[in-house]
């Protein structure tokens, strides 16, 4: 058996502690599968006195995580600190500069600095592994790099944030308003005390930017992702969606169009007949469409100690087996930047909800706005009558360009009869 692969782990939070635990518990199994043992020889975290339930005897403790990068006994630095900059960024850069392999679960770091870090890894001939950065326990990076290697990827999309999926499921199944569903997610540990990155779509956007780069061979372009969260989705929208034959999901979608690379994160109305509409709770799902493999969907836990640690160790096993692939599927020099496809040029169907005063002529004004913008209405729903007071009106459209819809909505929003900004959700007919 070859000499052990020696690992330094930076960050002993939920995931870091579970990585150490997994390597100890599954040591013999892992060694039998990759021909050598994987051993944690050093760790670093902020609080040395905290009881993490780990046996750290014989493992060096470093108060300064950057010390792991210069330790000659360490082959791989495992960065599990988090954050796009600061210590995490400095440590990964220093480790790669020192010629050490790196494994990270840090999607923010990769979304902002992934291309530069991949270039640094290539220059030293070492691996940059990040399976755990996208969709937790779903091995989607490996699938794109290996399983779909013979395919041109046509589209990749999915549910990439378990917090939002849990909230939308609770709203639908338990008739919770958004804030109550969020509070329930926080109570159960699915949402942070500050859930902003989750509910505003930023976490999903980080992951989508990474997926798009691997899928389409482009530099990571987080700034090119259109991002909307779920805070404006109301229980009323959940109900109308069900009536119209849809479930609402926060999706990340990436594809190459005639206008360039389209990367978008936003709530979507997904037909109930589509399998992804039934991926509920805190689960994630990723769909890959290839020109030969056709459509494939993977479902699994998108977060949590066990699934994320499993993905981290999968990268370590690849390194132990001496399997090194370009971080983003092709060498950095071969990554091809594509124009950003503007959302104004996105074409699709739409659900729009209005809150208007119930009085004669209002519907004529609204439909005239759609007519003049050349947006075709597919369906119109108005529940009940409430003369002189407000009522919800829902319209769905045939396929149209988003800029045209925007013109119609701006005109309707300016009507004296309109009491709230129109709420728009894109309809996806996958």
**Catalytic residue set:** 207
User: For residues 181 and 4, what is the distance between their CA atoms, to the nearest angstrom?
Assistant: 47
Neighbour-count burial of 121, counting CB atoms closer than 10 A to its CB (0-12 exposed, 13-18 middle, 19+ buried): buried
Q: Which residues contact 295 (CB under 8 A, 6 or more apart)?
A: 287, 288, 289
Q: Is the Cα torsion angle 364, 370, 371, 375 positive or negative in sign?
A: negative
User: For residues 2 and 38, what is the distance between their CA atoms, to the nearest angstrom?
Assistant: 11
Task: Report which secondary-structure segment, H or E, holds 403.
Answer: helix 402-413
The DSSP bridge pattern shows strands 60-62 and 76-79 to be unpaired
Contact between residue 114 and residue 220 where contact means Cβ atoms under 8 Å apart? yes
CA angle, 260 as apex, 256 and 265 as ends, to 5°? 65
First CA to last CA distance, the chain: 49
Helix (H, G, I), strand (E, B) or coil at 220: coil
Query: Which of 145, 104, 80 is CA-nearest to residue 316?
Result: 104
The string over 258-268, giving b where at least 16 C-beta atoms fall within 10 Å of a residue's C-beta and e elsewhere, is eebbbbbbbbb
| Cross-strand bridge partners of residue 254 | 156, 263
DSSP 8-state assignment for residue 251: E
Query: Which of 188, 160, 195, 161 is CA-nearest to residue 174?
Result: 188
- The secondary structure of 299-327 as a DSSP string is EEE-SSHHHHHHHHHHHHHHHHTT----T
Please report, for residues 174, 183, 257, the alpha-carbon distance to residue 155 in angstroms, rounded to integers and kept in the order given.
33, 34, 10
DSSP 8-state assignment for residue 4: P
């Amino acid at each position: 058996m070859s000499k052990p692969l020696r690992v330094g782990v930076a960050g002993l939070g939920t995931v870091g502690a579970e990585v150490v635990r997994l390597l100890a518990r599954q040591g013999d199994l892992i060694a039998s599968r990759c021909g050598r043992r994987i051993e944690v020889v050093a760790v670093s975290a902020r609080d040395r006195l905290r009881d993490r339930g780990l046996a750290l005897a014989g493992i060096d403790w470093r108060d300064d995580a950057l010390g792991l990068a210069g330790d000659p006994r360490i082959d791989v630095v495992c960065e599990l600190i988090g954050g796009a900059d600061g210590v995490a960024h400095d440590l990964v850069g220093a480790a790669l500069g020192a010629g050490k392999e790196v494994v990270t679960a840090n999607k923010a770091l990769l979304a902002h600095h992934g291309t530069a870090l991949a270039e640094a890894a290539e220059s030293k001939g070492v691996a940059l592994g990040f399976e755990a950065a996208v969709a937790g326990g779903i091995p989607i990076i490996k699938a794109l790099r290996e399983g779909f290697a013979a395919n041109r990827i046509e589209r990749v999309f999915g549910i990439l944030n378990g917090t939002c999926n849990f909230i939308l499921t609770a709203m639908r199944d338990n008739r919770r308003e958004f804030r109550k569903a969020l509070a329930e997610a926080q109570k159960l540990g699915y949402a942070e005390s500050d859930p902003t990155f989750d509910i505003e779509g930023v976490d999903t956007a980080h992951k989508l930017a990474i997926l798009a780069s691997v899928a389409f061979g482009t530099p990571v372009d987080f700034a090119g992702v259109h991002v909307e969260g779920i805070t404006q989705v109301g229980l009323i929208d959940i109900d109308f969606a069900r009536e119209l034959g849809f479930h609402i999901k926060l999706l990340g979608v990436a594809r190459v169009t005639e206008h360039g690379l389209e990367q978008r994160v936003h709530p979507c109305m997904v037909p109930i007949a589509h399998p992804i509409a039934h991926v509920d709770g805190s689960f994630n799902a990723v769909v890959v469409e290839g020109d030969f493999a056709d459509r494939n969907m993977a479902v699994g836990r998108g977060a949590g100690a066990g699934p994320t640690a499993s993905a981290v160790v999968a990268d370590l096993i690849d390194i132990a087996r001496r399997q090194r692939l370009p971080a983003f599927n092709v060498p950095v020099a071969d990554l091809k930047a594509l124009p950003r496809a503007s959302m104004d040029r996105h074409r699709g169907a739409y659900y729009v909800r209005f809150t208007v005063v119930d009085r004669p002529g209002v519907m004529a004004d609204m439909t005239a706005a759609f007519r003049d913008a050349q947006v075709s209405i597919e369906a119109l729903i108005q529940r009940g009558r409430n003369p002189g007071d407000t009522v919800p009106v829902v319209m769905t459209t045939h396929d149209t360009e988003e800029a045209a819809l925007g013109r119609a909505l701006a005109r309707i929003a300016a009507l004296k009869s309109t009491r709230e900004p129109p709420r728009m959700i894109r309809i996806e007919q996958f």
